[in-house]
Amino acid sequence: MTTQPSDAHRSITISRTAPGKFRATNARGGTMDFGSGGDDQFTPVELMLTAIAGCTGIDVDIFTTRRSEPTGFEVTAEGDKLRDEQGNHMGPIDVTFRVTFPEGEEGDAARKVLPEAIRKSHERLCTVSRTVMLPTEVTSHEAD
């Protein structure tokens, strides 16, 4: 049996701030505004893509910066929103890394571990993409 660390639970609360606009608040008091897509605020789907790219980007950053500080670091997550017999959902999501390191021994070491860092994040470390890829039950209900 696997034991969970005491900080395993995650929670956010969403509040409506205006028509089509919402604010997410995390347990630490941080906030993020988002909306339904009528303006430049992120939509929930864009936040999901951000979470996937951000989670795997953090993993890769940890592995590579032990060797060298990058000179460029960009991660793109993209895919098509589909509407079909399964309802609304995203089709395949592609995550692309564009990471550069300075010339020299340290940069070479970081470049060498980059593909493995991306693979490890994808296959087992990134909680967000792993949750999307695995069958994960999501329930919705009215509060008591």
Residue 7 lies in a domain: no
pLDDT value of residue 132: 94
My answer on whether 69 and 115 are in the same domain is yes
My answer on whether 26 and 49 are in the same domain is no
**What domain range is 20 assigned to?**
12-42
Alpha-carbon gap, residue 30 to 32, rounded angstroms: 7
My answer on whether 33 and 52 are in the same domain is no
pLDDT value of residue 3: 57
Q: Domain tally for the chain?
A: 2
- Residue 46 sits at the vertex; the CA angle it makes with 44 and 47, to the nearest 5 degrees, is 60
Residue 143 lies in a domain: no
Confidence (pTM): 0.90
The CATH number given to whatever domain includes residue 104 is 3.30.300.20
Please write the tens of the pLDDT for every residue from 100-139.
999 999 999 999 999 999 999 999 999 999 999 998 999 9
Given a cut of 50, the residues of the chain with pLDDT beneath it are: none
Alpha-carbon gap, residue 140 to 27, rounded angstroms: 20
My answer on whether 67 and 114 are in the same domain is yes
Q: What is the DSSP string of 74-115?
A: EEEEE--EEEETTEEEE---EEEEEEE--SSHHHHHHHHHHH
